[in-house]
Each structure stands twice: as structure tokens, then as C-alpha cells.
Structure 1
Amino acid sequence: MTNHQPTRGEPRVALVTCSRLVDLDPDDRLVIAPLAARQIAAEVVVWDDPDVDWASYNLVVLRSPWDYALRRDEFVAWAASVAALVNPADVVRWNTDKRYLAELSAAGVPTVPTSWVEPRETWQPPADSGEYVIKPAVSAGSQDTGRYDLADPEHRDLAAAHVRRLSEAGRVTMIQPYLTAVDTEGETALLFLAGPDGLAFSHAIRKGPMLTGPDLGPDDLYKAEEITARTARPEQLAVAERTLATVPGGTRQLLYARVDLIPGPDGDPVLVELELTEPSLFLGYAEGAPDRLADAITTHLTRS
């Protein structure tokens, strides 16, 4: 899976993926040529490959290890064993469990209201008839995620079964009101990449609505997405900056960050997720984005 044979003295960077994406997601491959142009040898490596010598890399960059959701403890332990990992292991531990949203909400970040159901805790759908999203607190790529209209008796039964299925598997469930603005406005993802002075805004994209109904069983590794370029608005950038200001340990340690926002009931942007572990960066949707990521990697190599 080596993409570029290093010459003597070239920094070696591992681009970390999973065994189901051994050639990386196509969007992630866009950074390989810009890295080569900077005399940086990029190699695609599977995170749980026991034969990899992680200490041989100058930097280990998390990209698409999207099979970790059912093996989070193993993944977090692996991250802690890789000294040159970005984003670093402490961030991975914090960010791979979406209960961080409760911390951000308590810190004053406008977030989508979320309730939590612990494993083996009983849960009944709320009495109101709104739409809700149910998903596990540890997930990637919208796996095990469903949308339920609680005015529909069948949906109420399916929602209860979804929570029960996650609970019986020992997983924490998160329950959120469905933000209907996503059906028209979509979701805005704001991408930030490391620069000399810390994270800097790079670009934004729009995701179309993805959830069409209940979760009825095993998903693919990630759901298909409708992506277009978008210009970030000042109020979105303001919420993103407030969100990033709450990251434990600060943002200078980060190579990248993605802030996902949807308009709330009053039209103001609210945080849906802060992606610091393995976010798609949508490099192909903004001119110069692959070069900006290569520059960010160069910045971290210089620091290390």
C-alpha cells in the first residue's frame, strides 16, 4: 500500500485507513501528490495491521479508519500507542464518544438538544409527535442511525426497537430532535486546517439530507452523501470558533477540525458534531484544499 518510495532523508507520513478502504477514500488521495511535491513520502497504512512499525513514521495522520465504531476501546488503545499521531490520542479518546456534545453545550456552545440512554436502561418514545434521530454515541459515517416520526405508531415501535438493539449491544444511545431545516438548507461542514498560528478556516461544503427513515439493519461503511461547495456565513464561522475554543488542550495540537452545523428552529446555526478524529475533509470541493492540507502536514512535521 506504499504510494511513494521515500528517498534518504525524506519525512515519512502514514495516512491511516481501515482494511475496507486499503487505497483510501478517493478524496483523501488528493493530498498524496501535493505531499510528494514537498518531498514528503506518503504511505497508506491500515490502523490495525500488526506488522506496521508506527515508530518509523515522522507523522501518522488519521484519515479513514471508519471500522472502529464497534471496537472503540481497541482503537483508542492503539491511538495511545502511536506517539506521532494527529490528531493526538487524547483528542481521539474524547472525540470518538459523542457525549462530548454535553460538555460543549455546558460550555455555552449552541448544540442540538440531546438525551442519552445508557446500556440496559429502559426507554420509551416521548409523548409528543415530532421527528427524532436515534444513533449510537460511538459511530462513524452515520452508521446505525435512523429518523423516526413519532406520530406514526410503526415508527414508535421501530424507534424503541432501535434503542433496545443498541442497548443490548452495550452501546450508549443518543436521541435528538430532527432539525427540519436540513431538508432545505442542508448541513454545513466548516473545515479548518493547521497553519503556523494554529487552525485556520479552509473551506465549507453543504451536505444534503441523508436520513430518510428508520434504521433497519446493518449499513455500508458510510452512507452516500450529496455534497456541494458552500460559502460559510459569518454566523456559522462564529459558532465554529466558539466550538473550537472549547477543545480540551487547545487547537494548536490539531491538524484538522470539521464543525458540522444545521439551522435550529429559530434559524440560528447549532452544532451537530465536532469532527476531530477521522472526518472527511472534502478536499475535492475547494480549490487549493489539497495543498492546504499538505501545508498543514508540513507544519506539524516541522513542529515534531
Structure 2
Amino acid sequence: MSRTAVLVSCAELPSGDGDEDAVVSALSALGFSVSWAPWDSDYDFAAADAVILRATWDYASRRTEFLSWCESVPSLFNPADVVRWNTDKSYLVELLDAGLAVVPTSLVPPGSPAAFPTSDYVVKPSVGAGSRGAARFAAGADAASHVAALHAEGHTALVQPYQSSVDSEGELSLVYLGGVFSHGFTKSAILGSTLDASGLYLSEELAPASPPADAVALAEDALDAASALLGILRAELLYARVDVVRGADGKPLLLELELTEPSLGFRQADEGAAMRFASAVRQQLA
């Protein structure tokens, strides 16, 4: 039985950034008719069997409109409720409150004063993609003007102490498909990097990685905690990317839990990863 799957993108990258090329082939091999379409196009998303968010990287400046579109799509992966929760990084505070090992995070809503760490730190918008709007500050520096600029754009600012391990080790990303670990890769530090030609994200270097046991344990805890907060089974998440860094004590900390439109590093994964993704899509539809 032939089914239709649409990989959802944005106008600037209508066919994504190339990372899903193998996924298209894998879905086709499992009987799907596959196409790409920007989320704000006139494509008939309601007619597709599976609508899969992949490169919707312009949503940050149009989040209200984007969420409204998500809620109009019957067969969206991941679902609209997950997207609403995950596209505002204040979810990190919820995970902290749930007892998870998260990079210390404080929120500064518009109109509120900011308190800055005594070490190097990062300030970023709570709604954003591709590290746009994120800036690193040295210990003792005053980021009030950056916070004010984010507030002027209507953003809540998110403040975190900078984890120096990123300079030497980068970030470790663990990818889960249908709630099951698939593969891992590392990302180089990207603060201060240049924007990609699309203008949607900062350039970064990726490399394959085999996550150590303590990072896997944290990723598993993060998925379980998020699923509990969302009231779903983790198997209901078609995809998830758990970004982990090392704290000053060497222990892993959750930096972000990406459940909406993360790059999944298929070009850094083994050949079976794309087929695992396609199989997970079939599982979601079963």
C-alpha cells in the first residue's frame, strides 16, 4: 500500500540542507511517496499520511503562526503539543525542576532585570533556532544591552553559565527514533561562527561519535522526564535529539532536548540510520 510522506521545510531551504537525502530513499523503499514542502506553502498537508517537520528553521520569528499551522495538520510528527512545549526553551527549567541534570538556566522575561553568573556565560532568546541571537560573555561582563535587545524583539532571555568543555569537546548529540537510540555525533562550538548561506543557522562541524554510558543514561532520563511532562509515551516521539555537554566536574549535563526540527546527523551516521527513521515513521502510523 502506497502512502504519502512530506518532509516539511521553509522557503529559504525548500528541500532541506541535504541531511535527509538518504531518508528520502529509505522512505521510498518502504512504500512511501515522498516530497518536500515549506510549511507556509499551499501544499495539501491534510492529505498526507505523514507530515514530518525537518527544516522549518524560520519558525522563531513567526512562532504564533507556525504553531497555528502545526495544530491544523492531522498527522504531524512530532505532534503540535510537543512542538508548542519544545519551541520555547523555558522547558529546560521544567526539566531542572523535575530533577534532571541540566545546564543551570534562568529566564529573564521582558521587563525583568537580569542577574548574570560570575563565570563566562551565554545569553540567548528562549525562542530561537540555529543559535541565532545567542552570545557569549566573559566573566564580569554586563550583557544588559543584549538582554534589552532581546526584550525589544519580544523575547524572554535565557541565561546559562558557559560550559568550557564545549571549547575542547564540543557538544554531543544523541539521536532517538521512535524512542530508541539510533546514533550519535559531535558538534563543534558555534557561538561566533558565521551564518549559513540561508541565513537561518550558524555553520558548524559535525563528526560521528559513540556516546559514553553516562551520556546515554542522561539522554534516557531526559526523554523519560519530557514524556512524563507531556503526558505521552516516549515511543510516540518519531525523533528526538538530546544535546549533552560536560560540566566543570566532568559529569554530563543536558544542554537542549530537540523535539521539533533538529538536524539528525544522518550524514554522520551509519548506513542503517535512514532506514531506522523510515521504519519509525511506519511505526508511528501503525
Q: Do both share a fold (TM > 0.5)? A: yes
Per-residue deviation, 1:16: 0.3
- CA positional deviation for 1:209: 1.4
Partner of 1:295: 279
Contact 1:121 1:167 in 2 (8 A): no
Q: What is the match of residue 201 of structure 2?
A: 222
Return the match for 2:83 from 92, 96, 100: 92
Percent same amino acid among aligned pairs? 43
Residue 116 of structure 1, CA deviation: 0.9
d(CA) in 1 for partners of 2:9, 2:188 = 25
Q: Which of 235, 238, 259 is the matching residue for 1:255? A: 238
Matched, 1:190 2:190: no
TM-score by length of 1: 0.88
**Aligned residue among 76, 80, 93 for 2:71:** 80
User: Is 1:270–2:253 an aligned residue pair?
Assistant: yes
Q: Which residue pairs with 1:145 in the alignment?
A: 134
2:180 and 2:235 in contact (8 A); partners too: no
Query: 3-state DSSP class of the match of 1:284?
Result: helix
Unaligned segments of structure 1, at least 5 residues: 1-8
**Structure 2 Cα separation of the partners of residues 190 and 224 of structure 1:** 19
Backbone CA RMSD of aligned residues = 1.6
Does 2:53 align with 1:57?
no
Deviations 1:94-133 (A, max 9, x none): 100111111111111100001111012233645x3x2110
The 8 Å contact of residues 79 and 89 in structure 1, kept in 2 or not, is answered as: yes
Counterpart-to-counterpart distance in 1, 2:92 and 2:204: 23
**Contact 2:166–2:189 under 8 Å retained in 1:** yes
Matched residue SS, 2:103: coil
Match of 1:27 in 2: 19
The alignment's TM-score, normalised by the length of structure 2, stands at 0.93
- Secondary structure of the corresponding residue to residue 54 of structure 2: strand
1:133-186 C-alpha deviation (Å, 9 max, x unpaired):
0100001111111111134xxx53xx2211000111111000000000111121
1:131 alignment partner in structure 2: 120
Q: Specify which of 162, 185, 206 is matched with residue 178 of structure 1.
A: 162
Q: How does 1:225-244 map to 2 (within 5 A)?
A: 225-244=204-223
SS at match of 2:6: strand
Distance 1:210 1:19 in 2: 24
Alpha-carbon shift at residue 20 of structure 1 (Å):
0.4
Q: Which residue of 2 aligns with 1:203?
A: 183
Residue 297 of structure 1 deviates from its aligned partner by: 1.3
Q: CA deviation at 1:250?
A: 2.5
Instruction: Tell me the distance in 2 between the aligned counterparts of 1:294 and 1:48.
Output: 24
SS in 1 for 2:5: strand
Please tell me whether the aligned partners of residues 125 and 160 of structure 1 are also in contact (alpha carbons under 8 angstroms): no
Distance, in Å, in 2 between the alignment partners of 1:103 and 1:111 is 10
Where does residue 5 of structure 1 map in the other structure?
none
Q: Is the 8 A contact 1:124 1:160 kept in 2?
A: no
